[in-house]
Amino acid sequence: MPNKPEINPRMLTIPMIAKYFSATNWFVEELIRSKRLPAMKFGKSYVVDLNDANEFIEEQKKKQKLFESVHIMTDEEAQRFFEGCEQDPETGAYIPDPDEDPSL
């Protein structure tokens, strides 16, 4: 008997997407409810397009890389930064000294 060709579904149910994401059904349902992951009702179940799931993953990876590239100052660094700044008397905003901060 010949082997039947394997069919890879494009539209995945919530449990299938949860397994694909290595997450819980609840997490996927929250993504759908918050409109962060597009889904459509197919009969009685919600389904997610595999392409949308992959796009969601790529967006999350970009956000993670962006977050990792941000430097958060320690208290000591912030104190040193503000020591070299003047304060605008009208707005109270700090004005950095361009000689102290080469990024300006």
Q: What is the pTM of this model?
A: 0.60
Q: What token pair was written down for 72?
A: 């958060």
State the average pLDDT over residues 45-52. 96
State the average pLDDT over residues 63-91. 79
State the average pLDDT over residues 10-32. 96
Q: What is the 3-state secondary structure (H, E, C) of 11-51?
A: EEEHHHHHHHHCCCHHHHHHHHHCCCCCCEEECCEEEEEHH
Confidence band (pLDDT; 50, 70, 90) for 18? very high
Confidence band (pLDDT; 50, 70, 90) for 95? confident
Contacts of 14 (CB under 8 A, 6+ apart): 25, 28, 29, 32, 45, 46, 48
DSSP state for residue 100 in the 8-state scheme? T
Architecture of the domain delimited by 11-87: Orthogonal Bundle (1.10)
Residues 16 and 35: their CA atoms lie apart, in Å, by 18
* Per-residue pLDDT, 104: 47
